[in-house]
Every structure is written in C-alpha cells, then in structure tokens.
Structure 1
C-alpha cells in the first residue's frame, strides 16, 4: 500500500478491563511492572462536550512510547459515556487496543477512508500527580464502532500532554520492560481475511505471512492476526473468550533471565517459547503476555 499517508502508525496503548482493579494491580505488580498512581477518568460523551467524572479509573505501566492500561470500573453508579460497563458485561480481560496518531482529525479521515465507522473526536482528561504538582492529562480520541471490530474495542488516540503520562519516575520496571512491540488478534476463520484486510486499510500496510500469523508492520510495533483454527499452535491451551478477540501482547524487556525470575519469584508460572517466555492469560487477567529481549 505504497503512497498511503500513514497518520496511524504505532501502538498507543493496550487495555485490560476488570471490575477488580485492586486484584489487577496486584497481579501486574507481581509480573514486575511499575504502575502509575490510580487516576479517575473525566470523559466526554460527544464531540465538543465537557468531560465529566466517569465510572472508571486506571493505573498504567508506562514505557515512554506505548503503555499498558489497567482499566477498572470503580463506581457502578457514575456515568459511563464510553460504555465500559457493557463491555465488561460481555467479558473482562484484554479488550482495548488504541493506535497512535499525531493528528487526530487526519486519523479520523483515514478511518473513514478505510470504510470504518468511527465516532467524532472525543476529549479525555484525568488529573495526575507530577513532581511539579497536580497536572491534567489531556488527550483526544476517536472510537471505532464496536460492531465494526468485534475482536477489539478499537480506537485512535493523540497525546496532548505526553510528558504528564510517561513520567520518567514510573518507567523503570523490575522486569526490565521497555515497551509493547506486538498485539496478537485471534480471528474466527470465516472473518480472518476480512479482519486482516480491514487493519491493512486502517494502517495503510500490507500483511506479510510469518507462519500462522499475518503480520502488519507499523512505524512502532506490529499487529499479528491468526485464524482461530490455527490459534492452538500459537497459544496452546489458552482460553477462548469470544469468536474473535485480542489474545496477547508482546513485551520487550532488557534481559529475559531477569524478567523471568522476577515473575516466577512472585509465584506466577511461565512457559518457554522460541524467542523468550510466555505468561498465560489465565494468570494475567485475560491477556496472554509474550516476553522477548529488546
């Protein structure tokens, strides 16, 4: 797809959704991630609307570029403009994939040109503590219609205050994590070709085969899509929460030995792979975790 302007070209963040944020926080601390302090979301329901306090809060494992969001429903009575509770009612776990852009308006245009139904541009805010006091994180996002992408709650996001999110003091992890380098999607066989083609249009990229995986390269990171009938070869014995779903992400670390011992010393089982090791979604709140050396 040469000649396509790539305004969407990186992994912004991935997200694990739960109604048990306390437990999710404990497990990812066990997995060797340093987490940012808990922060409540201020969300807007429609373009141009002022953000208000919603039902969710998060903590994040930050890597300087991408980040891993631990997203919890913390107040069932609060507004839910982004329909998070309905998503959790379907199933909890690895549900969110946000791609990154430096120009959210252009990115929305790219989604529309790719034939994907998307929201208008929405505003997100949350207050965070910095070394200089309380600051407000601001971002702009476009959400893809979930009926268009049943495998993921897909969005595109633009940082407006990246420095308040990726604070250096939270970017040193006991497991040596450096970033999210890949996201693996399992696609029901009948829709696998269409799903691969859709992401290719969104990213302006052509898929390359790597064994059972169709790989779409971005400027930073890659998407990998595997047919459900082949998933057992890539994710043996892993849970199957839906016909098509976000199955796993790949975390690059400084030293595999350090990362593995950190995780195993916390009582979390690991499984060797050709390139590193794997933590089952059963042991990571619904997200399979591949670890490779940076």
Structure 2
C-alpha cells in the first residue's frame, strides 16, 4: 500500500436530530453503540460498527467552532458527508507514505471522545490527518487511526438484525468525472482507478469510491428517487454488504421499511428512510 491507506474506516452521516436519527437507524435494523461525545467539541455521535469499518451518525450537542463544518453541511441537507480512510499502519506512517508521493498531508492530530457505557465512561482515542481538498477532489475526507480499537469494537455491537455485515462502496455524485482522475491516479495509483462511460471507480483496499453524474447514476440505478436539487459534489448512496438477501428483505418488510429490488439483486432503501442517504444492500 504505497499510499499508506488500507481502505475505508468509516463514513460520517450528518444529522440534525441525533436522538431521532438513533431511533430511525435502530428501526432500520442496526445495532448502535452508546452515545459518544467528542472531547472539546460540540458534537456527539452514535456508531454502527462492523468488523472492518463503520458508520458514524454525527450531530450537535452545542454550537462551537469545531462544529462549523457540520453546521454548514446541515444547512444544505442531511446525509453522508465525509469519508475516513484507514491507515495501513499508524497515522504518522501514512503521512510519510503520502508525502513520498509528493502529496501534502497534515501533521497527525489527536482526537478523543467520551463513550457512555453501562459500567462507566471510557475514552476511545484516535489520530487524524487530512489532505488538501485539491488532492481528493469532490470528496470530503481524512485518515483516522484507532489508538484504542478494543473500546469501539465489542462483539455485541457487530451483529445487526437486518443482516448488514459491512461497507462495500460509496457513490459520489459530481458534475463530471474526467477532471478527478489525475488526483486519484496519484493518490491510489493508476491501477486502482478505472473508468467507464458512466462511472469512475477508485479502489481503496476492499472498498470502492464510485464517482458519477446524477444522470449516469439514474441510468445505472433505474427507479431510484434522486433529489433533483442534490448539491454537487456529494455522497448520495452507500452500498452495504448483507449476509442473506431474503432475510434482509423479510426484516425490512416486517418493519414496513420501503425498499426497491434492483436489477442486479440489491435492495435499495430510499434516502428518506436513512437521513438523506440511499442504502444499497447487496448480498456478499
């Protein structure tokens, strides 16, 4: 991994009402962690953990300078807003690898959050670094190294009633794809970037970033209700792996959750059910 990136660590989903989002994603069939509060910041979260990656529902508990980006995003919409890549080693090692590619990573910075467990509060800790926006065009992202992984991956948090087992790919809508290719060729290597008439695909470990225009996205996913005013660029959909398609369909039907059956076999949960993000559920 010449860039020091192992894959996608998590996706941040910005929500206006954190407790309402918790109830909504629980209804969708996800097991959520207890609430976490970022130290020194006005944000809190609930996480949906999988063995190799996770989703983070992020909301306000107080307005402050650290929450400015979330506030600006939520003025436009709710939904998936940012991607955290997983470093192959430490954040410091990833920074060295990225700099060797003539990229410009920030110095790693520390982050902690209080996690409210029944037996008491613990403090998971992380090391973050960023790249300039022009080095990851059309994607708000950073690298997140876990310093205390044992605190955030308890076995009971990894099992979900809807059968979801992890994140597969992220669908990003853009005005056009051609101008993105040089930056992602440089970051991930030309062998990890492929293009068709409809989509530019970037492989990050076992995950993919899929960039397409709204028209091409609609062509690839017929029948999906896409907001005509969706702000570009932006993450429109997440593809999640499921263990058994029929079992997941039964769960969604039981809880009266709307979904569409896609030509390729995926189940598509509309954005209105998941805080503004379409969910494609695909049997692994």
Normalising by structure 1, what TM-score? 0.85
1:59-92 per-residue CA deviation (whole Å, 9 max, x = no partner) reads 011002100111111222x452673222323432
Counterpart-to-counterpart distance in 2, 1:92 and 1:111? 31
Aligned residue for 1:208, secondary structure, equals: strand
Aligned residue for 1:251, secondary structure, equals: strand
How many residue pairs get aligned? The number is: 278
Q: CA deviation at 1:213?
A: 2.5
Choose from 125, 133, 138 the match for 1:151.
138
Counterpart-to-counterpart distance in 2, 1:249 and 1:214? 16
- What pairs with 1:98-137 in structure 2 (closer than 5 Å)? 98-101=84-87, 102-112=89-99, 118-129=105-116, 133-137=120-124
Q: 1:119 to 1:167 in 2, by over 3 A?
A: same
Given that residues 9 and 203 in structure 1 are in contact (C-alpha distance below 8 angstroms), is that contact kept between their aligned partners in structure 2?
Answer: no
Residue 221 of structure 1 pairs with residue 218 of structure 2: no
Aligned counterpart, 1:243:
232
**Structure 1: stretches of 5+ with no match in the other structure:** 43-51
Counterpart-to-counterpart distance in 1, 2:3 and 2:135? 21
Q: CA deviation at 1:209?
A: 3.8
Q: 1:148 to 1:280 in 2, by over 3 A?
A: farther
Given that residues 30 and 263 in structure 1 are in contact (C-alpha distance below 8 angstroms), is that contact kept between their aligned partners in structure 2?
Answer: no
Counterpart-to-counterpart distance in 1, 2:58 and 2:241? 22
Counterpart-to-counterpart distance in 1, 2:61 and 2:67? 14
Counterpart-to-counterpart distance in 1, 2:27 and 2:180? 34
Q: CA deviation at 1:172?
A: 0.9
Normalising by structure 2, what TM-score? 0.88
Q: 1:117 to 1:142 in 2, by over 3 A?
A: same
Q: CA deviation at 1:282?
A: 2.5
Q: Which moved more, 1:209-218 or 1:162-171?
A: 209-218
Q: 1:269 to 1:196 in 2, by over 3 A?
A: farther
**Structure 2: stretches of 5+ with no match in the other structure:** none
Aligned residue for 2:184, secondary structure, equals: helix
